[in-house]
Amino acid sequence: MGVGLFQYTVLSVLVFLLGALGLMIRKNVIVMFLCLELMLNGVNILFMALARCRGSVEGQVIVLFVMAVAAAEAAIGMAIITTFYRNRGGVGVDRADLMKW
Amino acid sequence: MMVLILAVVLIPLLGATINGLFCWFTKRKAHLIAVPAIAIPAICSLVLLGKVLHGEHFDQVLYWWIPLGDLRVPIGFLLDELSAVMITTVSFVATWIHVYSIGYMDHETPRGYAKYFCYLNLFVFFMLTLCLANNFLLMFVGWEGVGLCSYLLIGYWYEKASAANAGMKAFIVNRIGDFGFMVGLFLIYKHLGTLLFSQAFAQAEHLSVGMATLITLLLFTGATGKSAQIPLYVWLPDAMEGPTPVSSLIHAATMVTAGVYMVARTHAFFNMAPLSMEVVASIGVATALMAATMALVNNDLKRILAYSTVSQLGYMFVGVGVGVYAAGIFHLFTHAFFKGLMFLTAGSVMHALHGELNLQKMGGLIRKMPITGWTFVVGALAIAGIPPLAGFWSKDEILAGAFMGGHKVIWAVGTFTAFLTAFYMFRLIFLTFFGEPRERHLYEHAHESPPVMTIPLIVLAVGSALAGLLALAPHGGIAGFLNRTLGEAHGAVHHEGSVVYVLMAVSVAMGVAGVALAYFMYMRRVPDTVALAANFRPIYTLLYNKYYVDEIYFALIVNPVVGGSRHVLWKFVDVVIIDGAVNGTGRLCRLVGSGLRYLQTGYIPDYAWMILVGAVVIYWIGRLF
């Protein structure tokens, strides 16, 4: 049984959901950040699979874009997390409660 | 000619602009700009008057101000006999009042000094615009402008509550009249389709008599406000809160004459509406009598003069009302001299007595201030109608016009008022300038005013003495000159020898009788004034309280409006409805927010959940449709 589009899709959805789930239940900002990357990469897998399947190049281009954006986002995100750590003395999201009602 | 007219109008505006914008710079030197800014127009208007004498006219549109479909309103000027006499009078008297102000306003702060001259120039600008306009709307601009400036100048000492209130009163009462004037303009435009004087008057005969009556009555409503006639005269006595030269300029010589000028200007309409003429003459004579009686018992120097102004304006309206427009304008012309003069002398007295206005505290001042005193006597003789001074000629022409026109009652009342006028004026003179000083302290400190104030007095006194002689000039005198514009008197008055002389004799006799009575009552004390006042207590009280007109207006109009505003508009509409709606909106938002704010946990995973749920919901909604 070869690896086809279906398998890629399943993998992609699984990775995406794993990321989403992690984002929602973990409290460590860095782990949540990793989960976010996971979600992005889940989508990337689907893009690549579809691009390969359809023999078009657009999907690959979009993946490159997503990776570039993810890299930029990682840089900013890590900077924010560092500052957050300094100001709040930890990286738990429950420490960010200034906007709470 | 156009250059001269533009100079007459624009130079005062320029002066006002300079002093208005650069008062921090001109300060004490403001008069160096303001006085030439009005003296030059005075010279120009004399030149223009000379040109008009030789038969030149000017009526030209300079600029289409409001070109709006059918409604085309220009900035344009009209110079004929009527406006030439007006601008000459206004600018000439105003010049001397400006000069006088240099001395009178000496004690003001530098800024206030410049501000004062700015307003004064602005006022003259609007008055000249009013007189020179060649269409109703531009005239209305001047009309409103003088109202504005009178507000500013009456309230010049606005720190004083009474001055600020008097300014407001003048403005509001004038607005009531202006409303009538505006409706009149609308009707003219609706029925004649033009606001230009030349076109409107040429088409005047197309109006029905009823419409002409309505229009003229509405215009006259405006005139009653501006020219202080019953029922809107109440602002003028209060307007004495302003500096005295202002009273002289605005409330004697120029602004209040705007109504008379306007009626004379629109004589083409008034000639078509006999009923309106009757109304104008009746209101005029009633005002003349009523104001004169109020002046009889007043003890305030300036207020007596104010009532006298109201009374003399009544005469002018009698003149235009009985159809002798030229006589009305002639009286306006002479009145500008002697009333301007008398207010300035009153200012000189105030200046000497540190603002004291109560006649009962004065007396004997002529020994201390001879120039002021004797020039005042000249003015008073002029207003009392003693020949050959100015007032005699003009007042006599009005009364003769009324008599010849068949208005015997108006003539009788007018003649009686002439007697009252002479009486109260000389009461004022005897109490102020003659007899023994009643307040030693005030008397000791009194002093003659500086030359910058006395020279205008002398000039205006000469004017008051001689202006009337223009009636004797060739070609029918000033009346004949004005009639070139105003047309032969309505119901043509031909001076039939003997009757005219009898009328003259009667009015002179009335004037002399008034002076004599005042002399006996206030110099000889026969009959005793205190006893008289006691014997006629009810009448005295009624007159002293000015017929309670102010109180009646307060009870009927002001208090209901204020009360209604306070209890209905403020306490209910504003507080309950408007504030309720505004506050209610805020309260609703707070209520909703106090529930919804619990959604904002501040916990990032919760927001992630909401985004996810939201995305799924939107996806499914998209599927459904």
Q: Are both B598 and B527 inside the same structural domain?
A: no
Best mutation target, A18, A24, A97, to test chain B (most B CBs within 10 A): A24
> Residue A87 in 3-state DSSP?
helix
pLDDT score, position B539: 82
Closest Cα partner for B244 from B310, B153, B364? Answer: B153
CA separation (Å) from B96 to A58, B120, B186, B458, B488?
A: 92, 12, 38, 10, 33
Q: What is the secondary structure of B468-503 as a DSSP string?
A: GGGGGSTTTHHHHHHHHHH-SPTT-----HHHHHHH
CA B250, CA B126: separation in Å to the nearest integer? Answer: 11
| Domain presence at residue B49 | yes
Residue ranges of B 112-131 with Cβ closer than 8 A to chain A: none
Domains of chain A: which residue ranges?
Answer: 5-89
Residue of B nearest to A99 (CA): B602
CA A31, CA B383: separation in Å to the nearest integer? Answer: 104
Instruction: List the structure tokens of B75.
Output: 């900035």
Q: Are both B333 and B407 inside the same structural domain?
A: yes
Distance from CA of B622 to the nearest CA of A (A): 21
| Domain presence at residue B565 | no
Closest Cα partner for B448 from B459, B457, B461? Answer: B457
Q: What is the secondary structure of B278-307 as a DSSP string?
A: HHHHHHHHHHHHHHHHHHHH--BHHHHHHH
CA B419, CA B414: separation in Å to the nearest integer? Answer: 9
pTM for the model stands at: 0.80
Contact A32 B609 (CB under 8 A): no
Instruction: List the structure tokens of B219.
Output: 């215009």
Distance from CA of A95 to the nearest CA of B (A): 9
Q: Are both B261 and B278 inside the same structural domain?
A: no
> Letter for the amino acid at B463?
G
Q: Are both B253 and B381 inside the same structural domain?
A: no
CA B137, CA B46: separation in Å to the nearest integer? Answer: 26
DSSP structural state of residue B227 = T
Contact A93 B604 (CB under 8 A): yes
Contact B608 A97 (CB under 8 A): no
Contact B609 A96 (CB under 8 A): no
Distance from CA of B585 to the nearest CA of A (A): 21
pLDDT score, position B491: 46
Residue ranges of B 604-623 with Cβ closer than 8 A to chain A: 604-605, 608-609, 612
A101 touches chain B (CB under 8 A): yes
Residue ranges of A 9-28 with Cβ closer than 8 A to chain B: 20, 23-27
With a cut of 50, list the residues of chain A below it in pLDDT: none
Taking the alpha carbons of B227, B232, B233, B236 in that order, is the dihedral positive or negative? negative
ipTM of the complex: 0.79
Contact A101 B597 (CB under 8 A): yes
Best mutation target, B603, B606, B611, B616, to test chain A (most A CBs within 10 A): B603
Which H or E run includes B524? none
Contact in structure between B332 and B226 (CB atoms under 8 Å)? no
| Domain presence at residue B548 | no
Q: How many domains does chain B have?
A: 3
Contact in structure between B121 and B249 (CB atoms under 8 Å)? no
Cβ contacts (< 8 Å) between A25 and chain B: which residues? 605
CA B490-B494-B499 angle, 5° bins: 125
Q: Are both B458 and B350 inside the same structural domain?
A: yes
pLDDT score, position B448: 85
Q: How far is CA A36 from the centre of its chain?
A: 3
Residue of A nearest to B603 (CA): A94
Best mutation target, A21, A23, A25, to test chain B (most B CBs within 10 A): A23
- Domain that residue B363 falls in: 273-539
A30 touches chain B (CB under 8 A): no
**Cβ-based neighbours of B330, under 8 Å, separated by 6 or more:** B319, B393, B394, B397, B470, B471, B478, B479, B482
Torsion of CA B578, B582, B584, B587, to 10 degrees: -160
| Domain presence at residue B191 | yes
Q: Are both B575 and B520 inside the same structural domain?
A: no
Q: Which of B269, B285, B311 is the last residue of a domain?
A: B269
Which H or E run includes A7? helix A5-25
The model's pLDDT over B154-177, given as tens digits with 9 standing for 90+, comes to: 999 988 899 999 999 999 999 999
**Which neighbouring-strand residues pair with B68?**
B71
Best mutation target, B594, B596, B600, B604, to test chain A (most A CBs within 10 A): B604
Contact A101 B602 (CB under 8 A): yes
Place of tokens 């990286």: A91
**Which neighbouring-strand residues pair with B135?**
B196
Taking residue A66's Cβ as centre, other Cβ atoms within 10 Å add up to 16
With a cut of 50, list the residues of chain B below it in pLDDT: 490-493
Cβ contacts (< 8 Å) between B605 and chain A: which residues? 23-27, 32, 93
Residue B566, CA atoms < 13 Å, CB-side half-sphere: 6
| Domain presence at residue B563 | no
Closest Cα partner for B433 from B492, B323, B540, B345? Answer: B345
Q: Are both B325 and B425 inside the same structural domain?
A: yes
Cβ contacts (< 8 Å) between B600 and chain A: which residues? 99-101
Per CATH, the number for A5-89 is: 1.10.287.3510
Alpha-helix residue ranges (DSSP H) falling in B298-362: 301-321, 325-352
Contact B601 A23 (CB under 8 A): no
Q: Are both B239 and B322 inside the same structural domain?
A: no
CA A43, CA A51: separation in Å to the nearest integer? Answer: 12
Contact B602 A98 (CB under 8 A): yes
Kindly calculate the radius of gyration of chain B based on its CA atoms and give it in whole angstroms: 29
Nearest to B612 among A20, A26, A98 (CB): A20
Distance from CA of B17 to the nearest CA of A (A): 58
> Residue B233 in 3-state DSSP?
coil
| Domain presence at residue B547 | no
Nearest to B602 among A20, A32, A100 (CB): A100
**Cβ-based neighbours of B450, under 8 Å, separated by 6 or more:** B103
Closest Cα partner for B514 from B287, B252, B230, B293? Answer: B293
Q: Are both B73 and B184 inside the same structural domain?
A: yes
Q: Are both B147 and B52 inside the same structural domain?
A: yes
Closest Cα partner for B462 from B329, B370, B337, B371? Answer: B337
Tell me the count of A-B CB pairs closer than 8 A.
34
| Domain presence at residue B562 | no
A54 touches chain B (CB under 8 A): no
> Residue B164 in 3-state DSSP?
helix
Distance from CA of B151 to the nearest CA of A (A): 57
Distance from CA of A40 to the nearest CA of B (A): 15
Q: Which of B222, B254, B269 is the last residue of a domain?
A: B269
Cis peptide leading into residue B243 (ω within 30°)? no
| Domain presence at residue B296 | yes
B595 touches chain A (CB under 8 A): no
pLDDT score, position B8: 92
Distance from CA of A1 to the nearest CA of B (A): 33
Contact in structure between B456 and B96 (CB atoms under 8 Å)? yes
Contact A96 B604 (CB under 8 A): yes
pLDDT score, position B36: 92
CA B568, CA B550: separation in Å to the nearest integer? Answer: 24
Contact in structure between B182 and B169 (CB atoms under 8 Å)? no
Q: Are both B233 and B285 inside the same structural domain?
A: no
Contact A101 B605 (CB under 8 A): no
Q: Are both B84 and B205 inside the same structural domain?
A: yes
